[in-house]
Structure 1
Amino acid sequence: MANQFDVAVIGAGAAGMMCAAVAAQGGKRVVLVDHAAKLAEKIRISGGGRCNFTNVNAGPQHYLSNNPHFCRSALSRYTAQDFLALVKKYRIAHHEKHRGQLFCNDSAEQIIAMLRAECDLGGVEWRMPCKVAGVRKTDGGFAIDTDAGELLVGSVVVATGGLSIPKIGATDLGYRIATQFDLKLIETRPGLVPLTFDGPSWEPFVPLAGIALEVEVSTGSSKGKGARGGHFREDLLFTHRGLSGPAILQISSYWQPGTPIVLNLLPEMDVADTLIGLKKTEKKQLGNVLTQWLPARLAEGLLAANGFDATARLADMADAKLRALGDAINRWAIVPTGSEGYRKAEVTLGGVDTKGLSQQTMMANNVTGLYFIGETVDVTGWLGGYNFQWAWASGVAAGLAVANS
């Protein structure tokens, strides 16, 4: 019948399309349901429109979860090399940009077209745009109420993503379905997101918007609920509202509200020792010395924020003062007042508690035939293609499981 299927996948993003393709090519009759009018918008905008589709280094150490070993099984059974083989099969030109990150040479549209083609190979049927009102357990499986009518299916795979970037259609549907079936949720919050700062202590840095430099960044505290230590060396960008760039996006997933982050603005140099060593030979003013190593506006802002006179001669500075300045540059501890929130977050931290799921199949332990994959689950990758690799790997795990059920 037209409304009866073996499997319904709710959410036609990266994880959902991968799962649907695998299940359908495994012999199941699959319907893919999504409320959006435009297919896979999050893939389309990713990587500056070129889709950072995986990372060749992807491993469990690159993921955050309350159950950190959960992702190991899926990632080991479907690796970055496996997805790369699919990309090569479709002759999609690509390149490695930075630290194992793989991008399309041309357009993210190629990845969307590839996934669509893989679904078509298995005869996946589409319901899109089609809003899901609810999911009910039946004697034979599940009934899905949609604005296009009822769907009767044997299994349901929830691939609805997280709360990030609501303007392209993010919703909490996956979390509501999980709660309905008594699965626990790990508290959600924005991840891979710019951090914001305000107040008098930040005023010297407001005019620095647009300045970028490579830094080391770490979490300043390992205390607090859910705290984890993070440390990255990446580019930092000053914005009108605070800090962004890869360094900040990475550390934002580890940062806990109310705690500091620590920046080393000159990671190749012990600034205090260098300044003290230069006192005997350097005749320049302090501000001019710092601008040899830092952007001029940043050097001026740091000096002003820490009460230093940029026109003072280095030779006249006390060692103790220079050590304090060195700390301000090599160990600049600042407390963000918040983040840019879900509207600019690339991912959602938290989600469906993995302790309620099978790490081999992604099926709920207490509901036969109900699966959760991708960003809906409490598995969040670093910046750099890791979240896409989790989407592919978890989608394949569930797709194979339903194909063999």
Structure 2
Amino acid sequence: MSYDTIILGAGAAGMMCAANCGGRVLVIDHAKAPGEKIRISGGGRCNFTNMHAGPGNFLSQNPHFCKSALARYTQWDFVDLVGRHGIAWHEKTLGQLFCDGSSKQIIQMLLDEIARAGAELWVQTSLRDLRKTEAGFALGVEREGQRHDLTCRNLVLATGGKSIPKMGATGLAYDIARQFGLRVTDTRAALVPFTFSDGRFKELSGVSVPARLSNARTSFDEALLFTHRGLSGPSVLQLSSYWREGEAICVNLIPGLPLFDLLRDQRQVGGRKALTTELARHLPARLVEYLKHHLSMNGNLADQSDVALTDLSAALSDWQLTPSGTEGYRTAEVTLGGIDTDDLSSKTMEARDVPGLYTIGEAVDVTGWLGGYNFQWAWSSGHAAGTAIAAR
């Protein structure tokens, strides 16, 4: 069975590529259904892109690599595609775009695009062997208990990274890349909660507060969520991509809040009020109860000097914590690192030294922020590879 292009992986990038390749195309995935990460994303409504998507929202050893694909297929191009399929959407916070209905609408849209392009889709199909040939590639796959020998001129790696192994994620793309001489950068879990081995935040589990999390490299102002294992929430997930083992993080629980001024003013009119009572107007009561055992919060407002209020405000804006680690690939939204971009064309996503081999999406060393950016990279890189193949 001979194809012009075989795409390994029926996720966001793989299906986008299949819709744009032209010729005889086969998409293969070992899962029971295509687009499983799309299905679970955004609480079932799929945060399919971000209004502010641009190169500055992505991490890579080569921060310039993503520019070409992102410029040639933008978030507005994908929004236009969504609109043509009649899918209603809305903006949430920070430019995040979601379906009004279900994430399954995005999957169906991509399946319709694949069908329109005449591509085939095989699910529950496992790759057994792969080799380079003079004309392209030869693959052995198993489907419904039967062996199939396939050939193609172009092979696209779109199998993603290692994140969420319970959904079938593996390092297959990295293994295949190495097989053909491509380098793979160090990989680790990203957009992932922090853990603390001493369980120090168990009693705060479920408490959420706006916060600024930072380290020596960057900072993010978004919600912080305490869990029985540690810290989660958007600000934590964002910072995790920039965090290294053993590094302390700074938690600012009062970003943008002039707490010293507020407490000093209240001291003048309500000095007999307990300090913790007043703090509970600005922070969750459970958090104040927890913090009073770690910071000096005794007495009434009238008992607090300007120095004491200054020290308290400073402590709440510079809470130094050192996570034990992260929850790892088990809950990570993406994998940081991947196939080295130095070995790929930024315009076509083709391997420089292996004609006909393309790699797209999360498998590549391009990792987006939380908020629809990784889906945009999937659309942009998949489109780049697909249109390059179609033009050959």
How far does the alpha carbon of each residue in 1:294-317 deviate from its partner, in whole angstroms, 9 at most, with x for none? 1111012112123x254x223323
How far does the alpha carbon of each residue in 1:66-113 deviate from its partner, in whole angstroms, 9 at most, with x for none? 111100000000001111111111101111112211111111111111
Secondary structure of 1:254 counterpart: coil
Which letter does structure 1 place at the counterpart of 2:278?
A: V
Structure 2 gaps, min length 5: none
Taking the aligned partners of 1:400 and 1:280, their CA distance within structure 2 comes to: 68
Which letter does structure 2 place at the counterpart of 1:153?
A: C
Taking the aligned partners of 1:152 and 1:186, their CA distance within structure 2 comes to: 29
Counterpart in the other structure of 2:54: 59
> Quick check: 1:270–1:330 contact (8 Å CA) kept in 2?
no
1:287 to 276, 286, 289: 276
Taking the aligned partners of 2:202 and 2:304, their CA distance within structure 1 comes to: 27
1:133 pairs with 2:128: yes
Counterpart in the other structure of 1:299: 288
Taking the aligned partners of 2:9 and 2:347, their CA distance within structure 1 comes to: 21
Taking the aligned partners of 1:309 and 1:23, their CA distance within structure 2 comes to: 64
Which letter does structure 2 place at the counterpart of 1:183?
A: L
Runs of 4+ in structure 1 over 4 Å off? 276-281
Taking the aligned partners of 1:84 and 1:276, their CA distance within structure 2 comes to: 49
Deviation at 1:132, TM superposition (A): 0.9
Deviation at 1:289, TM superposition (A): 2.1
Taking the aligned partners of 1:341 and 1:243, their CA distance within structure 2 comes to: 13
Structure 1 gaps, min length 5: 222-228
> Quick check: 1:192–1:250 contact (8 Å CA) kept in 2?
yes
Taking the aligned partners of 1:87 and 1:276, their CA distance within structure 2 comes to: 52
Deviation at 1:142, TM superposition (A): 0.7
Taking the aligned partners of 2:117 and 2:341, their CA distance within structure 1 comes to: 29
How far does the alpha carbon of each residue in 1:261-312 deviate from its partner, in whole angstroms, 9 at most, with x for none? 2111111224345445655552222212211211111012112123x254x2
For residues 340-351 of structure 1, the aligned pairs below 5 Å read 340-351=327-338
For residues 105-116 of structure 1, the aligned pairs below 5 Å read 105-116=100-111
Counterpart in the other structure of 1:79: 74
Secondary structure of 1:269 counterpart: coil
Taking the aligned partners of 1:321 and 1:301, their CA distance within structure 2 comes to: 19
Deviation at 1:323, TM superposition (A): 3.0
Taking the aligned partners of 1:12 and 1:289, their CA distance within structure 2 comes to: 54
How far does the alpha carbon of each residue in 1:142-189 deviate from its partner, in whole angstroms, 9 at most, with x for none? 111212322111010000001111111101100000111111111111
Secondary structure of 2:94 counterpart: coil
Taking the aligned partners of 2:276 and 2:108, their CA distance within structure 1 comes to: 54
Counterpart in the other structure of 2:185: 186
Counterpart in the other structure of 1:247: 235
For residues 1-400 of structure 1, the aligned pairs below 5 Å read 3-24=1-22, 28-147=23-142, 148-199=147-198, 203=200, 205-219=201-215, 221=216, 229-272=217-260, 274-276=262-264, 278-281=266-269, 282-306=271-295, 308-310=296-298, 312-400=299-387
> Quick check: 1:143–1:152 contact (8 Å CA) kept in 2?
yes
RMSD: 1.5
Residues 258-267 or 273-282, more deviating: 273-282
Residues 360-369 or 96-105, more deviating: 96-105
Secondary structure of 1:352 counterpart: coil
Which letter does structure 1 place at the counterpart of 2:237?
A: L
How far does the alpha carbon of each residue in 1:16-74 deviate from its partner, in whole angstroms, 9 at most, with x for none? 000011003xxx11111111112211000001111111111110011111111100000
> Quick check: 1:271–1:329 contact (8 Å CA) kept in 2?
no
Counterpart in the other structure of 1:226: none
Taking the aligned partners of 2:18 and 2:153, their CA distance within structure 1 comes to: 14
Secondary structure of 1:23 counterpart: coil
Which letter does structure 1 place at the counterpart of 2:110?
A: L
> Quick check: 1:271–1:330 contact (8 Å CA) kept in 2?
no
How far does the alpha carbon of each residue in 1:357-386 deviate from its partner, in whole angstroms, 9 at most, with x for none? 100000111111101000000101111111
Counterpart in the other structure of 1:224: none
Deviation at 1:349, TM superposition (A): 0.5
Taking the aligned partners of 2:129 and 2:231, their CA distance within structure 1 comes to: 40
> Quick check: 1:215–1:264 contact (8 Å CA) kept in 2?
yes
Taking the aligned partners of 1:302 and 1:231, their CA distance within structure 2 comes to: 23
Taking the aligned partners of 1:266 and 1:322, their CA distance within structure 2 comes to: 14
> Quick check: 1:191–1:345 contact (8 Å CA) kept in 2?
yes
How far does the alpha carbon of each residue in 1:203-254 deviate from its partner, in whole angstroms, 9 at most, with x for none? 3x321111111111112x3xxxxxxx22111111111111111111111111
Taking the aligned partners of 1:187 and 1:75, their CA distance within structure 2 comes to: 24
